[in-house]
């Protein structure tokens, strides 16, 4: 049986398939890297876990479909936020006024100041590692319970037998020290 030469159509198809495969991989990697930031961006405006998850999903669908339009040199998170913004707007329109949603004026103001959620995420993430190391063992323990176990402050209070109010204070303090430490680390990195 004579060997058939690969057709031009076949080459094109393979080429397209390879491109699609690479695109999918890239999208998956970028989405995984940014999922928490994007989710929190949405949550910041809707304040409800299940709504935020739905909107995250809808946003990611659009991002995936439009991924070929994404400029690899630009900010994936900023692009995602732009798409999420439209979804959130639409969601607000459908919600009853009784929902725990920020007032229109405030919402727009917050939108205009929300860029910082897409700024320097990777730099800050790297800085966070060393900032966590600087925490006291006790604070570190609390943070682990909060984030690795996913417990809410009230649940932690029940678990470890400390007053809720005191725990809120402790978490505020820990988060604040991390926030400031990250800022300092980044500044130090810039001046180095």
Rounded distance between C-alpha atoms, residue 111 and residue 43, angstroms: 13
Rounded distance between C-alpha atoms, residue 79 and residue 31, angstroms: 11
Q: How far is the CB of 109 from other proteins (least distance, A)?
A: 4
| Binder among 135, 140, 151, 186 for other proteins (CB under 8 A) | 151
Q: Answer yes or no whether residue 130 interacts with other proteins by CB under 8 A.
A: no
For residues 62 to 91, the per-residue mask of contacts with other proteins, x marking binding by CB under 8 A and - elsewhere, is: x-xxx--xxx-xx---xx--xx-xx--xx-
Q: Answer yes or no whether residue 134 interacts with other proteins by CB under 8 A.
A: no
Burial class (CB in 10 A: 0-12, 13-18, 19+), 191: exposed
For residues 6 to 35, the per-residue mask of contacts with other proteins, x marking binding by CB under 8 A and - elsewhere, is: -------x--xx--xx--xx--x--xx--x
- Quick one: 175 or 188, whose CB is closer to other proteins? 175
Q: How far is the CB of 191 from other proteins (least distance, A)?
A: 21
Burial class (CB in 10 A: 0-12, 13-18, 19+), 163: exposed
Q: Answer yes or no whether residue 139 interacts with other proteins by CB under 8 A.
A: no
Residue 88 neighbours by CB under 8 Å, 6+ apart? 42, 45, 46, 55
| Binder among 116, 133, 191, 192 for other proteins (CB under 8 A) | 116
CB 38 within 8 A of CB 84: yes
| Binder among 1, 135, 136, 155 for other proteins (CB under 8 A) | 155
| Binder among 135, 139, 171, 186 for other proteins (CB under 8 A) | 171
Q: At what angle do helices 137-147 and 164-191 cross, to 10 degrees?
A: 100
């Amino acid at each position: 049986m004579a060997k058939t030469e690969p057709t031009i159509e076949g080459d094109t198809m393979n080429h397209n398939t390879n491109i699609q495969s690479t695109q999918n991989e890239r999208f998956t990697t970028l989405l995984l890297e940014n999922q928490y930031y994007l989710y929190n961006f949405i949550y910041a405006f809707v304040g409800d876990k299940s709504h935020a998850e739905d909107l995250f999903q809808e946003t990611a669908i659009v991002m995936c479909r439009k991924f070929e339009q994404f400029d690899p040199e630009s900010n994936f998170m900023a692009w995602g936020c732009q798409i999420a913004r439209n979804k959130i707007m639409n969601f607000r329109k459908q919600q009853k006024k009784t929902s725990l949603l920020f007032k229109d004026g405030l919402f727009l103001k917050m939108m205009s100041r929300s860029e910082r959620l897409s700024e320097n995420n990777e730099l800050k993430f790297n800085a966070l590692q060393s900032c966590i190391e600087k925490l006291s063992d006790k604070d570190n323990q609390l943070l682990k319970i909060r984030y690795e176990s996913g417990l809410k402050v009230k649940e932690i209070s029940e678990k470890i037998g400390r007053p809720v109010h005191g725990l809120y204070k402790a978490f505020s303090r820990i988060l604040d020290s991390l926030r400031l430490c990250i800022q300092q680390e980044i500044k130090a990195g810039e001046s180095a």
